[in-house]
Amino acid sequence: MGAAIGAGDKKSVNIELNIVPFIDLMSCLTAFLLVTAAWVNIASLNIRPKGISREQTPKMEENEDVICSVLVSSEVIWIGLSRVDDGFTKIEKTKTCKNEDKPDALGRCHDWDRFRDELKKLKTERTFFKDREDIELAAESTPAAPVKYQDIIFAMDIAVQTGFEDVGLTDPAGLSAPPSRQ
């Protein structure tokens, strides 16, 4: 950035600023802004925190809705309903893997087709969920048995595809219907 001060007369106050560097900087920043804005809209996940807070004591209200809870672990997927004593649906890993799935060390993958079928069954057969779009999802990951990030995202995608548009992500202790491991 440069400026030409005075062009002969000592009392001259005319200064010519070179604004070319400012224009270069603004054009670069504009390009970064446009690329970032487009990327943020493409790679966004619409999730809201769900579940029961650890600090609060759980209160059951009379008009509280039944909530569908999904727990994804490294070995099994649990689907359960709060306030309903139907038990939990346990979806274990299978030996058949699709092309996009990467098998674990034993050659097994989550049964995403059965998970999709169970969610569709909930949406169509249960009167609780016919007009509702909310579901809560948690991942139970431990250092010994980590849950892949792709599995969480895949579970969220399936939930959205089956009509549960309002997917809430919570921790396993905050699920409204934590699975009983029987």
How high is the pLDDT of residue 20? 93
Quick one: tokens of 88? 């939990």
**In the numeric block, which tokens belong to residue 19?**
């604004």
Integer distance in angstroms from the first to the last C-alpha of the chain? Answer: 73
Residue 23, CA distances (Å) to 20, 28, 32 in order: 5, 9, 14
Which of the two residues, 104 and 70, has the higher pLDDT score? 70
What are the residue ranges of CATH 3.30.420 in the chain?
48-174
User: Does residue 135 register a pLDDT over 70?
Assistant: yes
The C-alpha atoms of residue 30 and residue 34 are separated, in whole angstroms, by 6
Can you tell me the mean pLDDT for 30-35? 86
| Exposure on the CB side of residue 67, measured as CA atoms within 13 A | 22
The pair of structure tokens assigned to 151 is 């599995």
**C-beta of residue 178 within 8 angstroms of C-beta of residue 71:** yes
Confidence of residue 182 (pLDDT cuts 50, 70, 90): very low
Best-predicted range by mean pLDDT (23-32, 50-59, 92-101): 23-32
Q: Tell the CATH topology of 48-174.
A: Nucleotidyltransferase; domain 5 (3.30.420)
Q: What is the pLDDT of residue 24?
A: 93
**Which SS3 state, helix, strand or coil, does residue 99 take?**
coil
Structure tokens at 87: 């038990």
pLDDT computed for residue 92 by the predictor: 86
Reported confidence tier of residue 122, pLDDT bands at 50, 70, 90: confident
**pLDDT tens string 36-77:** 776 655 555 566 666 555 555 555 454 467 888 888 988 889
